[in-house]
A = this chain, B = another copy of it.
Amino acid sequence: MSDTREQILDQIKVQGDLVRQLKAAKESKEKTAPSGGGRASSAGVPALEQQKQHQKQQPEQQQQEQEQLHQIDEEVARLLALKAKLGGDAPPTNQKFTLKTPKGTRDYGPQQMMLRQGVLDKIVQVFKRHGGEAIDTPVFELKEVLTGKYGEDSKLIYDLKDQGGEILSMRYDLTVPLARYLAMNKISSIKRYHIAKVYRRDNPAMTKGRYREFYQCDFDIAGTYDPMLADAECVKIVVEILDTLDIGDFVIKLNHRQLLDGMFQACGVPADSFRTICSAVDKLDKSPWADVRKEMVEEKGLDEAAADRIGEYVRLSGGSELVEQLLSDAQLKAVPNAVKGLEGMQLLLKYCSLFGLDKRVRFDLSLARGLDYYTGVIYEGVLQGESAAVGSPVKTSQQNGEQASEQATVGSVAGGGRYDNLVGMFDPRGKAVPCVGVSIGVERIFSVLEARAAASGLKLRTSDVEAYVASAHKGLHEQRLKVLNQLWDAGIKAEHSYKLNPKLLVQLQHCEEHQIPLVVVLGDAELAQGLVKLREVTTRQETNVKLEELPAEIRRRLQTA
């Protein structure tokens, strides 16, 4: 079918060239004789003027032109007839736009899907081990649901066009939709996971696993509980996931928003600047302190002395001994928020220790997290060492400024924290549902694993086919269909060539390329005795098997393989 079609396309091309030649010839004649040519380019020439020019033409010239026009019309008609042969869906012969996915997005091919599915399955296993229930929400929300939840990042939200009806925006994360879901359904406690794509009009750095459309894998615990029990379990979940994915060494940084606020207060930051100064601190994983200090002082108008005091604190990190030290810090001791934050951190570290996480967690005062809605514990899982730098080493030499930050941030593969007020923002009576949760940065994990797979040169199998049904010679396609049907009905994964008479060699090559373990080879000689050949692809050993015993024999071979 496609051959015929391509022949027509070739004919269209030839015919199209002919029409263009004729038109060009006519036009060049008109150019050399500008006073003639009734159909000369009329741009800017008034209609009446054209008419006058036309009347001035010689009869001979006119006739010649008529013939030319007639020929062109005829050839155009032939061209149209050819195009009509292609049917209603004739393709535009010249595609006017570049064939691509939208900026910051990508397709996943079969190889990438296998890898992705493997990662997601492992993550879900951990979520379920902790009693998680799955939910799903729409990909877009009423715009008002997202308004006022993301601080400075709100400008990155994708809006839908107003086509009449509601005004909608694409979800920016899975946390705000969860809060809307809880408030709307008056749910006061749940342990839920949600794996879905979210959308941010950010500047993508796709080689580092940063996209505009990307997967989030979230686990959240909602409910009014005793302090830090749920929070510590979220940290445990992150550790279990990063362990099971085996993507290299990592550490979970911990901090507390209340401590940050208390620390800002102790350093002399005005209360109404806490969030904006917090945003600046959040950049410490990408920028050196000097740049962050500059932002605080020059852009955000903070007192230099206050900035320097902050600078002293944010360089601190450690374990419970650091909490003790800060609890006796004269400046912090005086601020109730700081003391509460530190006490919370002490309890969290204790629970983490009971979960065997001492070497996995680090209290780090420079951790701030960008989102506005956090109110308590915050944490971030960060890859350490080599694996954190996997990405695009090619780029590094070109982009100096950006590169340093890119390389630093690819290390962050999980993050989360406590947000006790978000659900209340949706409840008409302001009823709060305290929540704590974690989001796994799977795209970055995919990037690391894809780079590793590419480096190893190993090819993942992208289908699970167990048996291929082949013809040894011509005229066997109906037999193939019968055998296939028998295998499918027995639950065996099987396929064949969709050609009536494929060559045996081609069929066997397909099996080797696609790592299909078994081939059922049909031939008249065997079929006459109710037999088929069963061939093992790796060993190339063949045995005759009774047709009615084929499914059972295949199953037996697969189990012992």
Contact = CB atoms under 8 A, between A and B. Distances in A.
Contact of A101 (B86, B138, B201): B138
A164 to B, nearest CB: 9
A160 B163 contact: no
Interface string A464-492: 11000000000001100110010011011
A223 interface: yes
Which of A130, A491, A498 has the most CB atoms of chain B within a 10 A radius of its CB?
A498
A466 to B, nearest CB: 9
B138 A425 contact: no
Nearest to A477: B229
Contact of A161 (B136, B159, B426): B159
Interface string A223-254: 11110011011001000100000000000000
Interface stretch (A24-32, A90-98, A284-292, A549-557): A90-98
Given A96-B144, A425-B89, A430-B6, A499 B139 contact: no
A191 interface: yes
Interface string A1-27: 110011001000000000000000000
Contact of A105 (B88, B91, B138, B183): B138
A433 interface: yes
23 contacts: A1-B432, A9-B429, A86-B421, A87-B421, A89-B422, A91-B430, A92-B425, A97-B144, A97-B145, A101-B138, A101-B141, A102-B140, A107-B135, A107-B136, A108-B134, A108-B136, A158-B163, A160-B160, A161-B161, A226-B477, A226-B499, A229-B498, A229-B499
Interface residues of A, number: 126
Interface in A105-121: 105-110, 113-114, 116-117
A100 interface: yes
A274 interface: yes
Which of A103, A141, A429 has the most CB atoms of chain B within a 10 A radius of its CB?
A429
List the 7 shortest-distance A-B pairs measured between CB atoms, nearest first.
A225-B498, A110-B133, A105-B138, A131-B495, A159-B161, A113-B134, A108-B136
A84 interface: yes
A457 interface: no
A107 B196 CA distance: 13
Given A90-B421, A102-B142, A139-B197, 9 more contacts: A84-B271, A93-B430, A110-B190, A113-B135, A113-B136, A114-B134, A133-B462, A158-B163, A236-B485
Interface stretch (A43-51, A327-335, A350-358, A406-414): A350-358
B100 A142 contact: yes
A89 B375 contact: yes
A184 interface: yes
A218 interface: no
A355 B482 CA distance: 6
Interface in A287-308: none
B99 A113 contact: no
A495 B224 CA distance: 16
B488 A130 contact: yes
A192 interface: yes
A97 B89 CA distance: 45
Contacts of A463: 128, 131-133, 191
B91 A427 contact: yes
A421 B5 contact: yes
B425 A224 contact: no
A354 B469 CA distance: 15
A259 interface: no
Nearest to A113: B134
A173 interface: no
Nearest to A212: B138
A503 interface: no
A166 B136 contact: no
A52 interface: no
Interface in A267-295: 271, 274-275
A185 interface: yes
A400 to B, nearest CB: 26
A221 interface: yes
Nearest to A147: B97
